[in-house]
Structure 1
């Protein structure tokens, strides 16, 4: 016969809660799964734009085309580095045109308010947008915009928030 020792329920429950919180924090801050595996469509209300972060933007619009590495501090674009010939030229000639993710979401909401023919977004599992597609007039030329967001990283000390239903875990 095997001897079995049982833990008091309160210790076991506390351990389960702690492990759950750590798993949520790890999922929010350190997920190594590629963003494509976490995509979903539809509006995201869970994600709140942090004050400071970095991301890579690939933009195909009439005004802004190319790939940029963007650093946002205090909610504003503090630095934009062009990663290809077109984007380097645009950073030199139009330094204020590279948007934050929050500004891209405002463009999406404006397009929806204006009843654009296309105003769609795909989101990562943490809620930040991965891709925003806009087209105000289906039959018009040169009013389309496609923004692809990758390599998104909140700044250190910003905290990572994982929302699951009504529970919020902040690390």
Structure 2
């Protein structure tokens, strides 16, 4: 009988890297400036922490102005802990902090315009449940409101 092996998000992402290479760049990205308004879909996985789940997020002036939980976990976060719904700027700050703290894993992929498309963090590879994996899709710069 064949056994099904479930790969962690990071391993699955690593398998997809060659296919994404035409759109993403590892570690060296053009300088990205957080737009006044933008939206994106976020899949947040890994570890024992708040903010796990899949979200559709809209940001204005560096703050989350709308967050929709696309699964049960994300809906609970939006309803009870909306401060755990990040902006892309917040995710990049988390990446910079992990690098400053010499995390064992602090890696990112970036789109051609410099916005992050994947972020992988693991402060101690031998520790359980301290990792964070973020997949960013459906990123759109929105028209500024007056």
Taking structure 2 as the reference length, what is the TM-score of the superposition?
0.80
User: Is the CA contact 1:132–1:146 (under 8 Å) kept in the aligned structure 2?
Assistant: yes
User: Is the CA contact 2:29–2:112 (under 8 Å) kept in the aligned structure 1?
Assistant: no
| Alignment CA distance shift 1:82-1:109 (3 Å) | same
What residue is the counterpart of 2:86 in the other structure?
A: 99
2:22 is equivalent to residue 40 of structure 1 = no
Structure 2 residues not aligned, in runs of 5+: 1-18
What residue is the counterpart of 2:14 in the other structure?
A: none
Give 1 or 2 for the bigger CA radius of gyration.
1
Q: Cα deviations across residues 59-78 of structure 1 (Å, max 9, x unaligned)?
A: 01422211000010111111
User: Is the CA contact 1:39–1:123 (under 8 Å) kept in the aligned structure 2?
Assistant: yes
What residue is the counterpart of 1:88 in the other structure?
A: 75
What residue is the counterpart of 1:118 in the other structure?
A: 105
What residue is the counterpart of 2:45 in the other structure?
A: 60
Taking structure 1 as the reference length, what is the TM-score of the superposition?
0.69
User: Partners in 2 of 1:65 and 1:56 — Cα distance?
Assistant: 13
Runs of 4+ in 1 over 3 A off after TM superposition: 34-37
Structure 1 residues not aligned, in runs of 5+: 1-33, 159-171
Q: Secondary structure at the match of 2:83?
A: coil
Post-superposition offset of 1:96: 1.3
| Alignment CA distance shift 1:77-1:157 (3 Å) | closer
Give the number of aligned pairs: 125
Q: Secondary structure at the match of 2:82?
A: coil
User: Partners in 1 of 2:122 and 2:133 — Cα distance?
Assistant: 9
Q: Secondary structure at the match of 2:22?
A: helix
User: Partners in 2 of 1:44 and 1:120 — Cα distance?
Assistant: 12
